[in-house]
Amino acid sequence: MKHPNLIALLLVLFCCLPLEAQWRNPADTAGRRPVPATGFRATQLIAPGVLMGSGLGIHYLAHDSWDLAVKNKAQEINAKYPLPRVDDFVQYAPLVMNLGLVWTGVPSRYDFWDIFIETALAHAVCGIISGPSKALFHTLRPNEANYQSFPSGHSSFAFTGAELVRINYGWGWGGGAYAVATYVGMSRIWRNWHWLSDVLFGAGIGILSAQAGRWLLEPVKSLLGLREFRRGMAVVPSWDPYSGSLGLSFACTF
């Protein structure tokens, strides 16, 4: 097989695509999910707190008994069943789902532009936390490539997207996005780029960042004067039967 990475990526993305072929304007509120309160709630910190706390606990208190043990077992299995190097690409699948599902008729919490702003804020928070943390903890990778192991950036990015999918489309789609994010985290351990503690802490950062994107959405829209701003957009695919070429018709109102 000449292109196992590409084939594996296409399979993952295919599993994430909706089966319905209807194309709709994301500004249409007919397919909108009920919007619950967007403010901060302490319960929203439970999942990221448990994951980040577990990562820190293993990192400082159980490195030999957990990190090393998981690494050794993963490498033992990897020697027999090596994973294709697709985690560098698959980490973007939840992000693509979050921004793309709204165009396919799947009921969403917000319209596309709100989802876009929320996603940008969430990933900004993720980068602000994840990047400096690598320098702060200065942890050697299990493959000894460098000292940027803790936390896992791939995991934090993938779990940010997965939690955004859950927030905007519910657990039906969020469960699939979380499965993809979990695969990304496991593959980082399997391929010897990260410790278990790195992945757990990174996953916690991702979930926390997605929640932060939701908390910041309305304040940022208000600050920038976007609260009453509305844009409509329509994208219609077309096909020329004579030339066999595909095309798109695009319209946008401000």
In-domain check, residue 219: yes
What's the domain range around 56? 43-253
Q: What is the CA radius of gyration of the chain?
A: 20
Is 19 a member of any domain? no
Residue 5 covered by a domain: no
Quickly count: other Cβ atoms within 10 Å of residue 124's Cβ: 14
* Residue among 132, 127, 139 nearest 198 (CA): 139
> What is the CB neighbour count within 10 angstroms for residue 99?
18
- Residue ranges with strand state E in the chain: 232-239, 246-253
Indicate which CATH number applies to the domain containing 247. Answer: 1.20.144
Of 2-11, 34-43, 138-147, 222-231, give the range with the top mean pLDDT.
Answer: 138-147
User: Can you tell me the distance from the alpha carbon of 158 to that of 203, in angstroms, rounded to the nearest whole number?
Assistant: 8
In a domain, 91, yes or no: yes
Listed range (36-50, 136-150, 196-210, 237-251) with the worst mean pLDDT: 237-251
Position 207 in a domain: yes
Give the residue carrying structure tokens 């010897």.
192
Of residues 17, 37, 19, 58, the one with CA closest to residue 109: 37
Over residues 162-210, the pLDDT tens digits come to: 999 999 999 999 999 999 999 999 999 999 999 999 999 999 999 999 9
Question: Is the residue at 1 inside a domain?
Answer: no
pLDDT, one tens digit per residue, over 221-240 is 999 888 655 555 454 455 54
Cβ partners under 8 Å of residue 136, min gap 6: none
Mean pLDDT score across all residues of the chain? 83
Q: Structurally, how many domains does the chain consist of? A: 1
Amino acid at 231: R
Is 35 inside any structural domain? Answer: no
pTM over 0.85: no
pLDDT at position 34 is 56
| pLDDT bracket for residue 1 (50, 70, 90) | very low
| Three-state helix/strand/coil letters over 117-151 | HHHHHHHHHHHHHHHHHHHHHCCCCCCCCCCCCCC
Kindly state whether residue 149 falls inside one of the protein's structural domains.
Answer: yes
